[in-house]
Structure 1
Amino acid sequence: MATKPAPSPEQSRHFLWLYALAAAGGAVSYVPFLTLLLPIRVGELAANDTVGVLAYIAFAGAVSASVSNILFGWASDATRNRQGWILAGLVLSCILLVSVRRTDNASELLALIVVWQIGLNMMLAPLAAWAGDCVPDMQKGRLGGLLAFAPALGALSGSLVTIPGLADADTRLMIVACLVAIMVLPVLIFGKPRPMPHLMRSSEDHERITVSRPRGTVARMWLSRLLVQIAEAALFAYLLVWFATIDDGFGDNQTAIVFTVVLGISVPLAILSGRWSDRHDRPVVPLAFGAGIGAVGLVIMGLSQSLPGAIFGYVVFGLATSVFLALHTSQTLRVLPRPETRGRDLGLFNLTNTVPSLIMPWLTLALVPVFGFGGLFFVLAGLAGVATILLLSLQHRI
């Protein structure tokens, strides 16, 4: 009588939660700085050309982040030492962050940001790959749900450090650096993940196991995230401007509240969706639903003529795509073909996070002056719709 194969081991909840805390620390390391503290510093150094300087810094930073993420992902593959690179990147990026106040002009600030991005991605790239080494497929949905804490805590940290009267400009940067260290160090010191040798098999063994996957799975996963991220980047940059065109009394504080509420509600939704996908072994279904519902939200926004309708459309879009992005991050680890190049390959996937910031401004400039924001939202809905089709073509399984 044949015996049933032993079930695959699960990673400890202890490690999953500490890893999710570290991933949230990664978001805290850049969200409050890039969205709030950096623009303030640029305004101090280049008051006459704040927008132009920020544009140059954003472009140079995106290029630096893209290249260094691939480089340090590859380095952590080659050395087989994720934790060492994470620690080195943590130290370097925190030191450079608190050095921002020492810059005397816009050129120095731009150069520092380029180097800071290198240090930051020295931490982020190996951290992302480490999850692929330690978390089995049966828990990747749960991991994705926990990763939804990252953007929410990133936004919350921005609100914290900018509380009026809490800290001056120098101290704000130090608070951010301390928060990042407090959130990342525990997984390095206390994480101790259970070994998962089956996740580190050679390419030949791995290819025999994954031979039944549909062709082009990796490409479809990459492109679907890129398309959704373009829409996400456009809304992140221009939501306040769009709300103001509908109701000029709707300011930055109200917009920040909408952002925070959406990110907060998305966390339990992502956790529930991730657990459902693990339980039913249907990892693509929540992704396809997220992209599809996001497209519906964009259509609602394109048709909205009133502020309540506009907010409702954004809430639909924001919740759906927040869940999509969190779960997509973890499920990407399932489809990468070679464990020994996992860090490098994740660096290539990271281009879906940086390339949209280069595409989105030109798309907006081409559409909004001619067709208004409604035209932009309809085009973005089309991109999200294409992402949905790409995911559905994977037959709900990867």
Structure 2
Amino acid sequence: MADPLPAARQSQRFLLLYALAWAGGSVAYVPFLTILLPVRVSVLAGDAAGVSWLAYIAFAGAIAASAAFIGFGYLSDITRRRREWVWLGLVLSCGLLALFREAETLPALIAIIIVWQLALNMMLAPLAAWAGDCVHDAQMGSLGGLLAFAPGLGALAGAFVTLPGLASADTRLVLVGVLVTCCVVPVLLVTPPPHVPDPVSDDAAAPDPLNPAAAGRGAMRRMWFARLAVQIAEAALFSYLYFWFRSIDPDMGDNRTARVFSVVLILSAPIALWAGRWADRTSRPFTPLVACAFVSAAGLVGMALAPSLPFAIATYAVFGFATSIFLALHSGQTLRVLPRSDRRGRDLGLFNLTNTVPSLIMPWLTLALVPQFGFAALFLLFSALSLAAGLLLKPFARQF
């Protein structure tokens, strides 16, 4: 069925507050999973055992997050109460952060991580579906562009809470909870409850030729596989960028790698916002996605052939910009292809698997290719995946 459009477009104020709330999700997990949790594990297990501890914790957390996003998204569909679930998830996830200082064994850490992931996704899943309830399709490009700022804000939050002398290790967790609350609460307090459309059977809905959801579940599958293909490449570069740079130039340090990664992440956000607004103005919502997938593929080919560090950094920047913009705009445009408005939360949970499944696939691809063929073979494979993503979405760019 074609998803019924809201009667009026949302104000820019709401879009900004919603984007701030979504950034609160990044603030919740980026500093914790990338800095605070590894530090805690290192204290308890040491550097050698800490690597295996983190592997077990990450695996358990990814499974819990995947199941919770689908489950709580579906519950928010059934109850038709998005805001209440967001409130409950916010309170529980922030409160659970204080428990991590009590965990001193691997089983205890895994248990708390699982419960925390359940609470965090209790907040994130209904929040994701809420955008589809109350944001007009013609604003999805702008919304996607605003969502591109979330990863950068998450990274900045990590830099802030770890400032020397600002807070102790335990207090940093409390500080993260405060920052998340400040980001999420405004949209919950200021805006009225949005109307969640009543369930409508697929048979009762007239096809809307201007909406790709009219193409049926084939459109949803194309969007799902396109995002998965791009996410696999993005996840690998997130994990192995440092090692790739050092394979080209052993003098490339961790700080310089972090600066390159941060600059690409931060500068891609305003470009994504411009691209999203262009897509809205021209009514060509999928054209930027196709273009970014193809540019990402070209950047990966350049990375595979990189003869020097400056060339490697430049081609990574091309890949990083294109991929970050693709993922941000894809998040907004996904809401166009969901076949049922009354099951939006559940379907977004299925799309969220494209964020977690790559973490399970990527290590095996890396182990199979890099030791024998080097990073070049891995990047050429990822280039083929990005090219496939662009080809999957190209029909949408022509039709809608």
- What TM-score, normalized to structure 2? 0.94
Question: Is the 1:283–1:397 Cα contact (8 Å) retained in structure 2?
Answer: no
Q: Which residue of 2 aligns with 1:31?
A: 30
Q: Which residue of 2 aligns with 1:214?
A: 215
Q: Which residue of 1 aligns with 2:385?
A: 383
Deviation at 1:273, TM superposition (A): 0.5
Q: 1:395 to 1:21 in 2, by over 3 A?
A: closer
Q: Which residue of 2 aligns with 1:246?
A: 248
Distance 2:105 2:391 in 1: 48
Range moving further from structure 2, 284-293 or 157-166: 157-166
Distance 2:299 2:199 in 1: 42
Question: Is the 2:66–2:352 Cα contact (8 Å) retained in structure 1?
Answer: yes
1:324 to 301, 313, 326: 326
Q: 1:145 to 1:200 in 2, by over 3 A?
A: farther
Q: Which residue of 2 aligns with 1:175?
A: 175
Question: Is the 1:298–1:377 Cα contact (8 Å) retained in structure 2?
Answer: yes
SS in 2 for 1:10: coil
Deviations 1:205-243 (A, max 9, x none): 884133674351100000000000000000000001111
Alignment of 1:193-272 (within 5 A): 202-204=200-202, 207-210=205-208, 213-214=214-215, 216-272=218-274
Q: Which residue of 1 aligns with 2:93?
A: 93
Q: Percent identity?
A: 59
Deviation at 1:372, TM superposition (A): 0.4
Question: Is the 1:94–1:177 Cα contact (8 Å) retained in structure 2?
Answer: yes
Question: Is the 2:225–2:389 Cα contact (8 Å) retained in structure 1?
Answer: yes
Q: Which residue of 1 aligns with 2:53?
A: 53
Q: Which amino acid aligns with 1:167?
A: A
Question: Is the 2:290–2:397 Cα contact (8 Å) retained in structure 1?
Answer: no
For structure 2, which runs of at least 5 residues remain unmatched after alignment? 1-5
Alignment of 1:71-150 (within 5 A): 71-150=71-150
Range moving further from structure 2, 259-268 or 362-371: 259-268
Distance 2:201 2:258 in 1: 46
Deviation at 1:184, TM superposition (A): 0.2
Deviations 1:79-113 (A, max 9, x none): 10000000100011111122111111111011110
Q: Which residue of 1 aligns with 2:3?
A: none
Distance 2:392 2:318 in 1: 21
Range moving further from structure 2, 33-42 or 77-86: 33-42
Deviation at 1:251, TM superposition (A): 1.5
Q: Where has structure 1 moved over 4 Å in runs of 4 or more?
A: none
Distance 1:169 1:70 in 2: 32
Distance 1:268 1:306 in 2: 29
Deviations 1:9-43 (A, max 9, x none): 21111111100000000111001111111111111
Distance 1:18 1:203 in 2: 32
Number of positions where the alignment pairs a residue of Structure 1 with one of Structure 2: 391
Distance 2:399 2:195 in 1: 22
Q: 1:324 to 1:207 in 2, by over 3 A?
A: farther
Q: Which residue of 2 aligns with 1:309?
A: 311
Question: Is the 1:203–1:339 Cα contact (8 Å) retained in structure 2?
Answer: no
Q: Which residue of 2 aligns with 1:4?
A: none
Deviation at 1:250, TM superposition (A): 1.5
Q: Which residue of 2 aligns with 1:62?
A: 62
Distance 1:72 1:98 in 2: 23
Q: Which amino acid aligns with 1:44?
A: V
Deviation at 1:134, TM superposition (A): 0.5
Q: Which amino acid aligns with 2:50?
A: T
Deviation at 1:252, TM superposition (A): 1.6
Distance 1:384 1:66 in 2: 23
Deviation at 1:73, TM superposition (A): 0.2
Q: Which residue of 1 aligns with 2:188?
A: 188
SS in 1 for 2:77: helix
- What TM-score, normalized to structure 1? 0.95
Q: Which residue of 1 aligns with 2:368?
A: 366
Range moving further from structure 2, 204-213 or 352-361: 204-213
Q: Which residue of 1 aligns with 2:20?
A: 21
Over aligned residues, Cα RMSD in angstroms?
1.7
Q: 1:352 to 1:148 in 2, by over 3 A?
A: same
Deviation at 1:200, TM superposition (A): 5.4
For structure 1, which runs of at least 5 residues remain unmatched after alignment? 1-6
